[in-house]
Amino acid sequence: MNHGGNIWELIRKGVGFEQIMDFSASINPFGPPDWVQAAIHDNIKFIRHYPDPEQRELRAHLSDFLGIKEEYIIAGNGATEAIYLLANLLQGKNILIPSPTFSEYETALTANNAVLKFPIVKESNGFCFPYKEVLNELSWADAVWICNPNNPTGKLIEPSLLIALLDNAIKTNTLVIVDESFLMFVASSKDDTTLNVIDNYPNLIVISSLTKFFAIPGIRIGYMATSNTAILNKLKRQMPPWGVNIFAQIIVPGMLLDEGFMFRSRGLIEEARDEFFRELSELKTLRVYPSAANFFLIKLCGNTKADRLSQQLAQDNILIRNCSNLRGLDDTYIRVSVMREEQNKILVKELRDSLEIGQ
């Protein structure tokens, strides 16, 4: 398993937490709302008790925030749990996974003996969603698994294209699974989410993570939603008890009401992203691709490969995501998250120095 966010390897080597700059995990760089730490401290007494197994308050707030019926929602231990629950549901089925994309889909489905095809998200086409290729395979597929915005390309799919896909998929009895874990970073997320049409499409399942935007990956919280009662019942039977920890149940309802935090975060991240993109684009030794999310896919254009660059930067306590293990990419691709302005500038300088030396 090779993901971003593994700061622990450096910490085991004696590197102090504050010395690490982690560009490998795409988390809100401005941290969680200021009140979260106090809320956890004030509720530490509940650590001695089991959390609500039905997550009543949490799901009620999610329902209001997402604008969908409460009974459509299953909350869990991050989006990853949802991915593995759905993979188990799709055991032995035929699945389309437009790639490159998040590698955990393939890992989870392969473990459940699914038969996979990978329509290629082509660099030559700007990493746009391969709609025609997917459409041509719908009659074969039991499900299509999509990430929107896509990880690692940052490409956002137009809502009209997803609706057209849903319309065609319902004719072939094909499920459409849309992972929207990075959609909250998009200013138009309320318009772009497929949750807006969930009542119209029983073949739609939406996954999302709340840990990335709210910067609480250590707490773990995500959800999936569908209007399909049969699928909901099957998924609920698979769910382990107490899947959402007590602190997630305590703080997430308040987060969903914190409109000021969400507005400020999007503004600050958008400003940092635009400047980061401009500075990265000035480096002749790489190509940076536009992104709707809080990260950039980068192609290394010189002699330095992703593995070597990752190791070089790690020596300076800087972590990036080596994308060479992602289907459809090779050892010339990396992904970097948008951090605070001063951290972004440090990475740009390190990339400039490292890539020039490697020429």
CA angle (293, 299, 302) in 5-degree steps: 155
86-100 per-position pLDDT tens digit: 999 999 999 999 999
259-275 per-position pLDDT tens digit: 999 999 999 999 999 99
User: Does position 359 have pLDDT exceeding 70, yes or no?
Assistant: no
> In the chain, how many domains are there?
2
Q: Report how far residue 255's alpha carbon sits from residue 32's, in angstroms, rounded to the nearest whole number.
A: 9
Q: How large is the average pLDDT for residues 325-348? A: 96
Of 241, 124, 134, 113, nearest to 177 by C-alpha is 134
Q: Report how far residue 351's alpha carbon sits from residue 353's, in angstroms, rounded to the nearest whole number.
A: 5
Does residue 283 share a domain with residue 164? Answer: no
Give residue 17's pLDDT band: very low, low, confident or very high (50, 70, 90).
Answer: confident
Q: Report how far residue 108's alpha carbon sits from residue 122's, in angstroms, rounded to the nearest whole number.
A: 24
41-73 per-position pLDDT tens digit: 999 999 999 999 989 999 999 999 999 999 999
Question: Which tokens hold the place of 17?
Answer: 């937490």
Asked if the peptide bond before residue 202 counts as cis, ω within 30 degrees of 0, the response is no
127: left (phi over 0), alpha (psi -120 to 50) or beta: left
In a domain, 326, yes or no: yes
Q: Which residues contact 311 (CB under 8 A, 6 or more apart)?
A: none
Q: How large is the average pLDDT for residues 116-125? A: 95
Round to the nearest angstrom and report the end-to-end CA distance of the chain.
30
Question: Which tokens hold the place of 309?
Answer: 């660059």
Helix, coil or strand: residue 320: coil
What local confidence, expressed as pLDDT, does residue 1 receive? 45
Handedness of CA 245, 247, 250, 254 (dihedral sign): negative
What local confidence, expressed as pLDDT, does residue 8 receive? 81
Question: Residue 145: how many CA atoms within 13 Å on its side-chain side?
Answer: 29
User: Does position 19 have pLDDT exceeding 90, yes or no?
Assistant: no
- Is residue 241 within 8 Å of residue 55, measured between CB atoms? no
Question: Which tokens hold the place of 130?
Answer: 């391969």
- Report the chain's mean pLDDT, rounded to a whole number: 95
Range of the domain at 74: 36-257
What local confidence, expressed as pLDDT, does residue 18 receive? 84
Does residue 76 share a domain with residue 28? Answer: no
In a domain, 1, yes or no: no
257, 289, 317 - which closes a domain = 257
100-115 per-position pLDDT tens digit: 999 999 999 999 999 9
Question: Which tokens hold the place of 98?
Answer: 């437009």
**DSSP structural state of residue 180:** -
Q: Which segments of the chain does DSSP mark as H helices, in order?
A: 8-12, 36-42, 56-66, 78-89, 103-111, 131-136, 159-171, 189-192, 229-238, 246-257, 259-281, 306-315, 341-357
257, 287, 310 - which closes a domain = 257
Q: Report how far residue 66's alpha carbon sits from residue 85's, in angstroms, rounded to the nearest whole number.
A: 21
Does residue 327 share a domain with residue 279? Answer: yes
Report, in this order, helix, strand and coil percent for the chain, each rounded to 5: 45, 15, 40
146-189 per-position pLDDT tens digit: 999 999 999 999 999 999 999 999 999 999 999 999 999 999 99
Q: Which residue has the tokens 């299953």?
A: 74
CA angle (349, 351, 357) in 5-degree steps: 105
Does residue 176 share a domain with residue 64? Answer: yes
Does residue 341 share a domain with residue 274? Answer: yes
CATH code assigned at 80 = 3.40.640.10
29-68 burial, b at 16+ Cβ within 10 Å, e below that, comes to beebbeebeeebeeeeeeeeeebeeebeebbebbbeebeb
Does residue 187 share a domain with residue 99? Answer: yes
Q: Which residue has the tokens 């593994």?
A: 6
